[in-house]
Amino acid sequence: MRLMPSCHDVQMELTEYLEGTLPLRRRLGIWLHLRLCRVCAGVLRGLRALPLLARQLLGPAEPVPDAALRALARMQQKQSD
């Protein structure tokens, strides 16, 4: 396996790279690629911006009504019986 992955390889593994779940050798290869490739670095910036953008667009989560919580509890109880 090459140390420096292709753009396709990098973009397919950026989520795992951000989560820190890749092996060290793979992380280093992607890190190096990101330092040299503007396109992939831009994709990474976009991925990092998604959670904030989603919060801005969706707003705060609405509380779950008590009736829905009670119905869910009844369904779970029936499943365990």
| Residue 1, domain member (yes or no) | no
| Residue 18, domain member (yes or no) | yes
pLDDT tens string 27-59:
999 999 999 999 999 999 999 998 888 888 887
User: Cα(18)–Cα(60) distance, rounded to whole angstroms?
Assistant: 24
Q: Write out the two tokens for 55.
A: 């919060």
| Residue 13, domain member (yes or no) | yes
| Residue 69, domain member (yes or no) | yes
Is the Cβ–Cβ distance between 2 and 29 less than 8 Å?
Answer: yes
Q: Domain of 26: which CATH number?
A: 1.10.10
- Reported in sequence order, the residue ranges of the chain that DSSP labels E, i.e. its strands, are none
Q: Write out the two tokens for 62.
A: 């609405």
Q: HSE (CB half, 13 Å, CA atoms) of 4? A: 8
Model-level pTM? 0.64
| Residue 2, domain member (yes or no) | no
Q: Provide the number of structural domains found in the chain.
A: 1
pLDDT tens string 59-81:
777 787 888 889 899 999 888 87
Q: Length of the chain in residues, anyone? A: 81
Range of the domain at 49: 7-80
User: Cα(45)–Cα(17) distance, rounded to whole angstroms?
Assistant: 13
